[in-house]
DNA sequence: CCTCTAAATGAGAGCGCTCACATGAGAGTA
DNA sequence: TACTCTCATGTGAGCGCTCTCATTTAGAGG
């Protein structure tokens, strides 16, 4: 018994109404009598009818799909955000297509964007993409609503961000309050908004305390953290504290320092950023700036849905980060 | 100038052929003269024509989409596999919809499966799902091709797996070869195939060496590893080596042992499983069993595509894991 | 009780594509 | 020359839905 799937006419017939009325029920059109609606709904249930997305999309050219472009497939943050988004979008009846792009391969962007265009995506959310890629998205997907996450806010799109600047500042201030004076900052990739903001927070805090700014250029990888850690350890005068732009860098730095017989936190205090699940279990447990990725993802999706329903004016939304103090930072001992 | 998007008739007109011929070119039908094909192709290029997915889907009821159901959104492994899959699928012109489900919330499965059904998904790949959920998928998405990854192979579907059993065995043998006799295994979730297989590998190796099996039940989380680590440290006779079913457990165990003043690897050697990016930078760097998630993802996608093209008989594919020796394991010292 | 308006419903077209089938042009055979 | 057969192309229908517009029904006002 290979029964044909029920369509809107089957439902209409069973409910003794026209196909159009069924369509109205499906789309929650107001002018349908409650009694009629009920009849239709029970027919739908009886036939196990489900609307055909493709047909609907064909006529409305809306796909009920949101595309998400992510940079940095190795990172915890984007993954966490993506998960939150996917969950939230599903609750609202949207599907999510996520595509990871390599920041350094323009081909991969073009491919990704191409795919989204083919799918008649309603909206695109970008996570931690460079301005350049966002630009490309804007040009190629003119008809889609765009929300950018973890990227420099723009006049054109909704932007959702963690207050990276604040995070950098509270992390640095925490170290200053512990008595540290010689504080190095290991920065994220120079072309990324997040890293820049965190650095600015660091610099502001250092300036306020009249301390010397000391920034080393990194990226988001553990390996780079390790390399930089070795350099730091080899200095004539080693800093007493380090603030790294993410937890991975911190892990790499810690490993390098430990190998060079520097103790954490006795000799050097360290603060990370992200609060990845592992951070609490590093040895020592890492003091870090917590980002609520879940909230960030939800916020971005909700913003997107609002824009899709009614095009309101753009907004820049932010979520405050919080400092989580663990074992890797301590009061500077006298004589250092 | 809000130009209407070009459709197949526009292309046909410009190329001076019928719409059907255009369709043939689009679908690589053999019986089209090269000259005609060229004409059509240049018309396509000139009009920047792109086929409308929805229309195509409406008539063929194939969506060119693969759904991926993932358990364990916090884990590195599934994320890495997903990324590999997404990339590979895109190369082949397929889109990927990934949905994470919580193993313990049946509602979330049903929701997820529902969504996939609405989208007329061509195929579903499950990653690390329990047999129960796979069953549900099978029932609800009867028309879709299914490939299961990291789940017990079934007679009905293609299965792609790391050789978890082998991994468990080589990890344990490594410890035995280092002279250890008192080796504990911290297992993954009891209802998961991967954890079971790894445990069996451990047990086999222990039996071969006539050693006493000592398994503790865990899950995949760092916190659980930590708890179990504390228990182990509190034993009257602490084991000299521990094999954990993933790197996260290892991290938790290491943290707990370190807090209890047990040194790694001097007092206790530890082997993990997965080789997450952080593992090499733990203190000490973690000896672990490497899984090639990338390869796994590619393999699953390729297998899926083969099935979609020509339904061949089912196959169970596996990828061998490799042991990566780092600092967390060492030769057992005399007198222990 | 009749008109007038608003609410509720129905009818038909068409979104862009592929499918099944019809047709036409050559090539080969008798 | 007439016939079949293959290859290349064209024609029309229809996938399942929403859109626009037409029609019916009900309720309000005089």
Question: In this predicted model, what pLDDT tens digit does every residue of B278-325 receive, in sequence order?
Answer: 999 999 999 999 999 999 999 999 999 999 988 788 899 999 999 999
Q: Give yes or no on whether A63-162+293-319 and A164-291 have one common fold.
A: yes
Q: Do B53 and A120 touch (CB under 8 A)?
A: yes
Which whole number is the average pLDDT over A232-253?
Answer: 97
Structure tokens at B181: 């006799």
Task: Give the C-alpha separation, A165 to A195, whole Å.
Answer: 9
Terminal-residue alpha carbon distance, chain B: 83
**Domain range list for chain A:** 8-51, 63-162+293-319, 164-291
Tell which CATH architecture fits domain B61-162+293-319. 3-Layer(aba) Sandwich (3.40)
Q: What residue in A sits closest to B276 (Cα-Cα)? A: A74
Q: Do B55 and A52 touch (CB under 8 A)?
A: no
pLDDT of residue B316: 94
Whether residue A223 is predicted with pLDDT greater than 60 in this model: the reply is yes
Q: Which nucleotides of D are covered by protein (CB under 7 A)?
A: 7-12, 14-20
Q: What residue in B sits closest to A227 (Cα-Cα)? A: B281
**Does A108 contact strand C, using a CB cutoff of 7 Å?**
no
pLDDT of residue A118: 86
Q: Do A74 and B277 touch (CB under 8 A)?
A: yes
What's the whole-number average pLDDT of chain A?
93
**Does A18 contact strand C, using a CB cutoff of 7 Å?**
yes
Task: Give the C-alpha separation, B25 to B32, whole Å.
Answer: 7
Residues from chain B that touch A86, judged by Cβ atoms under 8 A, are: 98-100
Q: Which of A79, A96, A225 is facing B79, going by the closest CB pair?
A: A79
**Does B19 contact strand D, using a CB cutoff of 7 Å?**
yes
Our measurement of CA B97 to C1' D12, in angstroms, reads 36
Whether residue B100 is predicted with pLDDT greater than 70 in this model: the reply is yes
Whether residue A168 is predicted with pLDDT greater than 60 in this model: the reply is yes
CA distance A209 to chain B (A): 33
pLDDT of residue B3: 62
Question: Is-contact A131 A151, C-beta < 8 A?
Answer: yes
What's the whole-number average pLDDT of chain B?
93
pLDDT of residue A1: 40
DSSP code at position A63: -
Task: Give the C-alpha separation, A5 to A51, whole Å.
Answer: 10
Residues from chain A that touch B251, judged by Cβ atoms under 8 A, are: 278, 281
Strands (E), chain B: 65-71, 95-101, 123-127, 145-149, 158-162, 183-187, 215-217, 241-244, 269-274, 287-290, 316-319, 322-324
Which whole number is the average pLDDT over A100-128?
Answer: 89
Which whole number is the average pLDDT over A211-228?
Answer: 97
**Does B52 contact strand D, using a CB cutoff of 7 Å?**
no
pLDDT of residue A55: 95
Least confident interval from A41-55, B65-79, B232-246, B267-281? B65-79
Whether residue B2 is predicted with pLDDT greater than 70 in this model: the reply is no
Which whole number is the average pLDDT over A218-247?
Answer: 97
Q: A8-51 maps to which CATH number?
A: 1.10.260.40
- The third-level CATH classification (topology) of the domain covering A63-162+293-319 is Rossmann fold (3.40.50)
**Does B58 contact strand D, using a CB cutoff of 7 Å?**
yes
Which whole number is the average pLDDT over B99-117?
Answer: 88
Tens-digit pLDDT profile for residues B22-58: 999 999 999 899 999 999 999 999 999 999 999 999 9
Q: B164-291 maps to which CATH number?
A: 3.40.50.2300
Q: Which of B58, B95, B251 is facing A278, going by the closest CB pair?
A: B251
Tens-digit pLDDT profile for residues A44-78: 999 999 999 999 999 999 999 999 999 877 788 99
List, in sequence order, the alpha helices (H) in A178-324: 193-208, 222-234, 247-259, 293-309
pLDDT of residue B231: 97
pLDDT of residue B1: 39
pLDDT of residue B313: 82
Task: Give the C-alpha separation, A96 to A85, whole Å.
Answer: 8
pLDDT of residue A216: 98
Percent of chain B whose predicted confidence (pLDDT) is above 70: 98
Residue partners of A232: CB distance under 8 A and separation at least 6: A184, A216, A238, A239, A242, A253, A256, A257
pLDDT of residue B310: 81
Residues from chain B that touch A112, judged by Cβ atoms under 8 A, are: 90
Which whole number is the average pLDDT over B259-271?
Answer: 97
Q: Which of B58, B112, B285 is facing A58, going by the closest CB pair?
A: B58
Residues from chain A that touch B97, judged by Cβ atoms under 8 A, are: 95-97
Structure tokens at A130: 């460079």
Residues from chain A that touch B101, judged by Cβ atoms under 8 A, are: none
pLDDT of residue A333: 83
**Does A190 contact strand D, using a CB cutoff of 7 Å?**
no
pLDDT class of A335 with cuts at 50, 70, 90: low
pLDDT of residue A3: 62
Angular region, B93: left φ>0, alpha ψ -120 to 50, beta rest: left
């Amino acid at each position: 018994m290979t029964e044909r799937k029920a369509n809107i006419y089957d439902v209409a017939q069973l409910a003794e109404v026209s196909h159009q009325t069924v369509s109205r029920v499906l789309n929650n059109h107001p002018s349908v009598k409650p009694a009629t609606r009920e009849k239709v709904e029970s027919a739908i249930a009886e036939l196990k009818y489900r609307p055909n997305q493709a047909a609907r999309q064909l006529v409305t050219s809306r796909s009920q799909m949101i595309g998400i472009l992510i940079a940095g497939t190795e990172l915890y943050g984007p993954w966490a955000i993506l998960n939150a988004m996917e969950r939230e979008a599903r609750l609202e009846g949207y599907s999510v297509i996520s595509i990871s792009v390599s920041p350094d391969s323009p081909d991969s962007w073009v491919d990704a964007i191409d795919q989204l265009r083919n799918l008649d995506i309603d909206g695109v959310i970008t996570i931690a993409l460079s301005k350049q890629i966002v630009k490309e998205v804007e040009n190629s997907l003119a008809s889609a609503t765009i929300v950018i996450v973890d990227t420099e806010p723009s006049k054109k799109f909704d932007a959702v961000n963690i207050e990276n600047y604040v995070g950098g500042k509270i992390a640095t201030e925490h170290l200053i309050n512990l008595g540290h004076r010689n504080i190095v900052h290991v920065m994220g990739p120079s072309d990324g908004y997040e890293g820049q903001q965190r650095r600015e927070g660091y610099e502001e805090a250092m300036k306020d305390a009249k301390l010397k700014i000391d920034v080393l250029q990194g990226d988001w990888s553990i390996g780079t953290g390790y390399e930089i850690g070795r350099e730091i350890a080899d200095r004539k005068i080693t800093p007493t504290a380090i603030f790294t732009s993410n937890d991975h860098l911190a892990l790499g730095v810690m490993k390098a320092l430990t190998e060079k017989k520097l103790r954490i936190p006795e000799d050097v205090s360290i603060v990370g950023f992200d609060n990845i699940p592992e951070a609490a279990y590093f040895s020592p447990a890492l003091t870090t700036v917590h980002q609520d990725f879940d909230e960030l993802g939800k916020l971005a999706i909700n913003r997107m849905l609002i824009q899709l329903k009614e095009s309101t004016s753009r907004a820049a939304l932010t979520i405050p980060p919080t400092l989580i103090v663990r074992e890797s930072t301590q009061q500077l001992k006298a004589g250092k």
